[in-house]
Amino acid sequence: VERALRALPDGPEAVLAEAVAVLDEDERVNRAASRHAADLVLAHCARRPLRLLTHCNTGRLAAVAWGTALGTVRDLHAAGHVEYVLADETRPLWQGSRLTAWELAEEGVPYRVLPDAAAASALALGMVDCVLVGADRIAANGDVANKVGTYGLGVVAARHDIPFVVVATESTVDRTLPDGDGVVIEERAADEITHVAGTPVAPEGAPVFNPAFDVTPASLVTAVVTENGLMRPNR
């Protein structure tokens, strides 16, 4: 948006040209970030083929054409390094089951959808070699804001000594934000929790806590990878 606004004085065609440039750039930087992340995952995980777990959607439906964390899965799969992917359902909007599972099926990547609440058990049972997630915003110190449920994955991955890798573009890094405490978390509508497809699943008027995102401290993150390689937090 900021880039498009800078082109506004030059007229609508200039704004359109800048928007198209952003699209082209997004695919390029996503592919670069995913390649760097794939190399890092292979360096951290000795086991082959890999069993991966991801949360929310970070593929071509979320980006322009390739994806970040799911782009990394695509790179690893193309090289024959993926046994399967566990895709968290990602309640309450089901981005994992609706979107990520669809993308994995389209790519021919073996996958299983699991309830968000089952992810900790999957890690504890030794079913996961690496957790791969994206980010909506990254603070200068490496704290990561992402879809709610990501923080819990970071805690459990640390508990079981499993790499927790965040794949994002440099545009996601907000270096004006010192740490994750400054991230304002959106709280969404109660009916996303109290209803499923319009059918009530909770008592009428039930109070709800429905944050859309959470913040994973940098101390729980094995690496943040962008198109420029490993992010170097401002510590």
Q: Does 235 fall in a domain?
A: no
Given 39, 136, 174, 191, which residue is catalytic?
136
CATH of the domain at 79: 3.40.50.10470
Mean pLDDT of 133-151: 97
pLDDT digits (tens, 9 = 90+) for 203-215: 999 999 999 999 9
Q: Does 82 fall in a domain?
A: yes
pLDDT digits (tens, 9 = 90+) for 41-78: 999 999 999 999 999 999 999 988 899 999 999 999 99
pTM for this structure? 0.93
pLDDT digits (tens, 9 = 90+) for 158-179: 999 999 999 999 999 999 999 9
Question: Does 92 sit behind a cis peptide bond, omega within 30 degrees of 0 on the bond before it?
Answer: yes
User: Does residue 75 carry a catalytic annotation?
Assistant: no
State both tokens at 77. Answer: 């799969």
How many domains are contained in the chain? 1
- What is the separation, in whole angstroms, between the first and last Cα of the chain? 29
The rounded distance, in Å, linking the Cα atoms of 145 and 183 is 7
The rounded distance, in Å, linking the Cα atoms of 168 and 143 is 13
- For 144, the domain range is 2-230
Match 């709280």 to its residue by tokens: 187
**Greatest Cα pair distance in the chain:** 58
Question: Is the pLDDT reported for residue 17 higher than 50?
Answer: yes
Q: Does 46 fall in a domain?
A: yes
Helices (H), the chain: 2-7, 12-44, 69-78, 95, 101-107, 119-124, 150-159, 191-194
Quickly state the pLDDT bin for 234 (edges 50, 70, 90): low
